[in-house]
């Protein structure tokens, strides 16, 4: 796992945007794996400003809450439209986010994994990291699922994400997430982290062993991972 430490959030976002631009320049029909949350917002702002050509790009998002349809302002589909897709020339038909509004979420997860298999590759996957070490919504556990699956969110994740909702009771308790196996289909993975609140989990990720109790640590088995973190997130590293 290669690590780049940037001065601040802005520099982290710019560096990540350059990596995305490189993939768009090199690959004819790029498949981008995208994340939501606070961390990649700056990256998406940069990409929106750069006037890149996304007309041939396909995107797949990591996860979606169960019970929210794409018009709900806290759904990840809505987030992606607002933060990125509405500002670039990507064809929305080529943007995929798991569908959390279907009555059979298990089937929706299986359908999403089939879509990923059909695409066959992800050229670049962008990841954030949860305070508990989750990637996507793969929460710390004794065992982790490989394909896209339905997951019960941890209390700490519900608390962390309550900031986006009017009250904590409105945060969905379940989500559909790409599994670690789906994420590992990516040729390259960029993990972004910013701010003091992420310093402790970044220290554990870098210093410690590999464990499904720290899902991001499994990325150490992937041959092409770049961790881009700002100084605040890196502040507890030796
Ligand atoms: C989002 C996702 C999550 C977030 C993580 C960090 O699609 O899959 O794993 O990346 O919870 O969230 P932020 O960036 O809000 O700290």
What local confidence, expressed as pLDDT, does residue 238 receive?
Answer: 87
Considering only CA atoms, which residue is closest to atom 3 of ligand 1? 136
Shortest CA distance to 191 belongs to which of 38, 7, 39? 39
pLDDT beneath 50: ranges in the chain: none
What local confidence, expressed as pLDDT, does residue 12 receive?
Answer: 98
Instruction: Please state, in angstroms and rounded to a whole number, the distance separating the CA atoms of residues 38 and 12.
Output: 13
User: CB count, 10 Å around CB of 207?
Assistant: 10
The pTM of the full predicted model, rounded to 2 decimals, is 0.97
What local confidence, expressed as pLDDT, does residue 210 receive?
Answer: 96
* pLDDT 10s digits, 153-189: 989 999 999 999 999 999 999 999 999 999 999 999 9
Q: Is 39 in the pocket of ligand 1 (CB under 6 A)?
A: yes
Considering only CA atoms, which residue is closest to atom 10 of ligand 1? 128
**Nearest atom within ligand 1 for CA of residue 35:** 7
DSSP string, 102-142: SS-HHHHHHHHHHHHHHH--EEEEEE---TTS-BTTB---S
In the sheet that 225-230 helps form, which strands lie side by side, from edge to edge? 2-6, 225-230, 186-193, 122-127, 31-34, 58-61, 95-96
User: Which of the listed residues 16, 95, 128 should we mutate to test ligand 1's pocket, taking the one with most ligand atoms within 8 A of CB?
Assistant: 128
What local confidence, expressed as pLDDT, does residue 77 receive?
Answer: 98
Q: Is 128 in the pocket of ligand 1 (CB under 6 A)?
A: yes
User: Distance, CA 29 to ligand 1 centroid (Å)?
Assistant: 26
What local confidence, expressed as pLDDT, does residue 237 receive?
Answer: 95
- CB 55 within 8 Å of CB 28: no
Concerning whether 134 is annotated as a catalytic residue, the answer is yes
What local confidence, expressed as pLDDT, does residue 217 receive?
Answer: 98
């Amino acid at each position: 796992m290669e690590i780049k430490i940037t001065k601040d959030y802005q520099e982290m976002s710019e560096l990540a945007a350059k990596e995305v631009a490189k993939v768009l320049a090199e690959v004819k029909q790029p498949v981008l794996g995208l994340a939501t949350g606070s961390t990649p917002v700056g990256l998406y702002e940069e990409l929106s400003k750069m006037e890149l050509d996304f007309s041939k790009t396909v995107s797949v998002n990591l996860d979606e809450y169960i019970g929210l349809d794409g018009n709900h302002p806290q759904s990840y589909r809505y987030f992606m439209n607002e933060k990125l897709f509405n500002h670039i020339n990507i064809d929305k038909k080529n943007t995929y986010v798991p569908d959390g509004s279907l009555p059979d979420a298990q089937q929706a997860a299986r359908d999403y994994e089939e879509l990923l298999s059909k695409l066959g590759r992800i050229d670049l996957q962008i990841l954030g990291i949860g305070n508990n070490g989750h990637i996507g919504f793969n929460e710390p556990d004794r065992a982790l699922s490989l394909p896209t699956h339905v997951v019960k969110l941890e209390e700490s994740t519900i608390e962390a994400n309550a900031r986006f909702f009017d009250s904590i009771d409105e945060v969905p308790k379940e989500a559909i997430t790409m599994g670690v196996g789906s994420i590992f289909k990516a040729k390259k993975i960029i993990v972004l982290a910013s701010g003091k609140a992420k310093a402790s989990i970044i220290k554990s990720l870098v210093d410690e062993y590999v464990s499904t109790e720290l899902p991001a640590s499994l990325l150490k088995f992937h041959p092409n991972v770049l961790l881009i973190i700002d100084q605040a997130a890196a502040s507890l590293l030796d």
